[in-house]
Structure 1
Amino acid sequence: MQIADLDILQSQAQYPSITITLPTHRTFPEKEKDPVRVKNLIREAEDRLLQEYEARDIQDIMQRLWDLADSIDHNHNLEGMMIVANRDVAKVYKVPTRLEEKVAVQDDFLVRDLLLAQSRIQSYWVLTLAENPTRLFHADNDQLQEVQDYGFPFVNEEPGTRMTLDTRYGTKPDSERDEHLRIFFRNIDAGLKQALDLEDLPVVLLGVDKNLGFFKEVAQNYDKVLTVIEGNHDLATADNTALKFAELVWPKVQEVMHEQRHNDVAQAIDAAVSSNTFFTDLNDIWVATLDGRGARLFVEEGYSFSAKVSEDGRSIAVVDEPEAYRNREIVHDAVNRIIEHVLQTSGEVVFVEPGRLGDNRKLFLTLRY
């Protein structure tokens, strides 16, 4: 999934646009049920379309959906799946976040689910500071890939023990070894800089205290360090390296990033409240985002509501029983529509855990003016 996909899906909106989302599974036996679940949801979408169209009128779009279902390789499922289709677009997205099971038929796609998945993908570098060798990994969440570039993996080929160092009169073996280590870690830092120049991501460091200390002393890129994990990781073998480090690193990264997100949200809300530049009322938010006033929209994960839009498009009324209406008469996911308004006017959307917005709020919009 690329950021450009969000723009494509928004630009291709038309009625009917079908969005199907569901949780999926990586392992057996749970993943065996995923193909059946997909087909059941496609049938549900067909039933909804048949409430408004003759079967011959939806034949093309239904064929697109069935072709998509047949093309899915369920052996490589992640935590969630999103299927979108209309007369011009047909795509399947596998995402590393769990999605709710639902079917939507409206005049736009539910881009919120892709946006949420995108916001939960954390990319970073993992640098293991060891002499035999120092490795660099590129990580997306718990998936690590070793980098074989920029000089990595680095092996310290300088004298490594007191007995092999120059012990002539006046030399200090410990000092000589320390200087060799400084040179070694400067070279590693130079290699890391090349990686950072290509992709500017936070860095997780692993290593024993001494190596961490030397690296911190000489590194020019230490401000990129997200967190440090102490310990001896020299003995990881080629077969289990990525898995071993993922198990060590990903829980710590989640913890640090969760805390950072929480602090960022709290600070942004406090600033908006202090300056009285925010809305929490649904109609106020609807109008402000239509007018391009929305700077940053905070959305509680999982929150949605159906709404009927006024004839002039400037107000909404919450609908408690959307099944009582025809598809075109209401917006089944008004939160998704608000998100689209924000994105179309270069605003930012941030998803937060339930309860983070306080005072039973589900949406919080900071204003440009």
Structure 2
Amino acid sequence: MQRALLHELQLQVGYPSVTILANTTPGDWFDQSQRITIHRLIDEADRRLRDDVDHDTREHVVGTLRRHFAEEEAAVGTEAIAICASPMYSVAVRLGRRVVERVVIDDTFATRDLVADLHRTATFRVVTVSEHVVRMLYGNERRLAESVDDQWPLIREEDQSVASWTRAVVHALRAEQRRHAVPTVVAGVERSVRRAIGTAELDAIGVVAGNHDRSGWSDLHRAAWPLVAGWIDQQQMKAIERLDSARSQRRFAAGVDEVWTMAMEGRIELVVVEDTYAVAARVLDGHLEPTDRADAPDVVDDVVDEIIEAVLRHGGGAVIVGDGVLSDHERIAAVARY
């Protein structure tokens, strides 16, 4: 999951925005049970839209969901998939972590699992640098895969000067960082690493020392993942520390109703939420009334997702933490701007 795509998804507003979330098998194609599950979820979306929108809108959205699924069937799987479709926008997103399989229909796409994927599972990047080649790899907790396209790998020409090669590397790394702002581990000998981090201004979270021109991706993954896991833990610890500091400054909010109200007003600087926390609710007189009827027309399927979307839309941050971490704060807490 890339931050730029997440941001693009969060900009889409309009009813019906349908999100299908389903688990898949990493490194393999869809098996029969997964196909049945996704078809069932799409059929559920079709049924729920039948009495909710006009025929043409329903046909367009459901048809788009089926088309994206058909296209994704030929691709190697990750841990899960999100298929998003509205009358104006659609995309299929591969996720690196398991999800609660469900259909969400709202004014915006359900992005809580995508946020969790970005912050916890983390797509991360490994850049291998040397005097002759720079390779770009993306991965998650399970594996790394090399990015091979018209840009990568970057290979030095035989007669290319050091200065020209350095400029080419710097330009390519900066462009990649702008496109995909994800945690980055740099692998290489000290001089090459120093040049990549310093000249290209890569915000690296760690370094794997040594020449890795011939290293296997599984070996690189074993070396890089502990650095990424440590970084994720640090982000979660920093979030908890910010919550503690906010309490003493009277900038602290907890509980889904209070946090939701402040999020809708654009007053949250940081929201921290437990991994599996979800709440379906009606909005009555500016407050939330939780309900078990998530599929009712006047119910917001998941107000936690709505909170995260609102916070990010207003320039705030979101951090997902493990279940039980916020048990004293009703599973969700926030740092207020004022």
TM-score, normalisation: structure 1: 0.71
Using a 3 Å threshold, how does the CA distance of structure 1 residues 11 and 30 change in structure 2: closer, same or farther? closer
2-side partners of 1:29 and 1:196: how far apart? 32
Shift of 1:335: 0.7
**In the alignment, residue 289 of structure 2 is paired with which amino acid?**
A
Aligned partner (choices 205, 214, 230) of residue 226 of structure 1: 205
Aligned partner (choices 271, 274, 288) of residue 316 of structure 1: 288
Q: Does residue 19 of structure 2 align to residue 19 of structure 1?
A: yes
Shift of 1:267: 2.5
| Per-residue CA distance 1:295-327 (angstroms, 9 max, x = gap) | 1111211211111101x4x211121x215xx62
Shift of 1:334: 0.8
2-side partners of 1:59 and 1:27: how far apart? 32
2-side partners of 1:278 and 1:305: how far apart? 21
Q: Secondary structure at the match of 1:114?
A: helix
1-side partners of 2:29 and 2:5: how far apart? 35
Shift of 1:287: 1.6
Matches within 5 A, 1:314-353: 314-319=286-291, 321-322=292-293, 327-353=296-322
**Is the Cα–Cα contact under 8 Å of residues 121 and 140 in structure 1 kept in the other structure?**
no
Rg larger in structure:
1
Structure 1 portions without partners, runs of 5+: 154-183
Q: Does residue 95 of structure 2 align to residue 95 of structure 1?
A: yes
TM-score, normalisation: structure 2: 0.77
Which residue in the other structure is 1:137 paired with? 135
**In the alignment, residue 221 of structure 1 is paired with which amino acid?**
G
Number of residue pairs matched by the alignment: 321
Using a 3 Å threshold, how does the CA distance of structure 1 residues 219 and 288 change in structure 2: closer, same or farther? closer
Q: Secondary structure at the match of 1:75?
A: coil
| Per-residue CA distance 1:132-153 (angstroms, 9 max, x = gap) | x775332322223485437499
Q: CA RMSD in A?
A: 3.8
**In the alignment, residue 149 of structure 1 is paired with which amino acid?**
L
Using a 3 Å threshold, how does the CA distance of structure 1 residues 64 and 247 change in structure 2: closer, same or farther? closer
Which residue in the other structure is 1:171 paired with? none
2-side partners of 1:244 and 1:56: how far apart? 48
Identical amino acids, percent of aligned pairs: 20
2-side partners of 1:230 and 1:299: how far apart? 36
Using a 3 Å threshold, how does the CA distance of structure 1 residues 74 and 36 change in structure 2: closer, same or farther? farther
Using a 3 Å threshold, how does the CA distance of structure 1 residues 67 and 86 change in structure 2: closer, same or farther? same
2-side partners of 1:152 and 1:354: how far apart? 51
Q: Secondary structure at the match of 2:326?
A: coil
Shift of 1:116: 2.5
Shift of 1:98: 2.2
2-side partners of 1:6 and 1:217: how far apart? 31
**Is the Cα–Cα contact under 8 Å of residues 124 and 140 in structure 1 kept in the other structure?**
yes
2-side partners of 1:284 and 1:65: how far apart? 35
Which residue in the other structure is 2:180 paired with? none
Using a 3 Å threshold, how does the CA distance of structure 1 residues 331 and 135 change in structure 2: closer, same or farther? same
Which residue in the other structure is 1:271 paired with? 245
Matches within 5 A, 1:47-58: 47-50=47-50, 58=58
Matches within 5 A, 1:179-258: 193=170, 196-199=173-176, 202-205=184-187, 212=190, 221=198, 226-229=205-208, 236=214, 241-258=215-232
1-side partners of 2:164 and 2:51: how far apart? 67
Q: Name whichever of 135-144 and 272-281 sits farther off.
A: 135-144
Using a 3 Å threshold, how does the CA distance of structure 1 residues 76 and 262 change in structure 2: closer, same or farther? same
The structure whose RCO (Cα within 8 Å, separation 6+) is larger is: 2
2-side partners of 1:341 and 1:57: how far apart? 26
| Per-residue CA distance 1:89-137 (angstroms, 9 max, x = gap) | 33322222322211123333212222333334344443467xxx77533
| Per-residue CA distance 1:268-303 (angstroms, 9 max, x = gap) | 222212212110022221221122111111121121
**Is the Cα–Cα contact under 8 Å of residues 293 and 367 in structure 1 kept in the other structure?**
yes
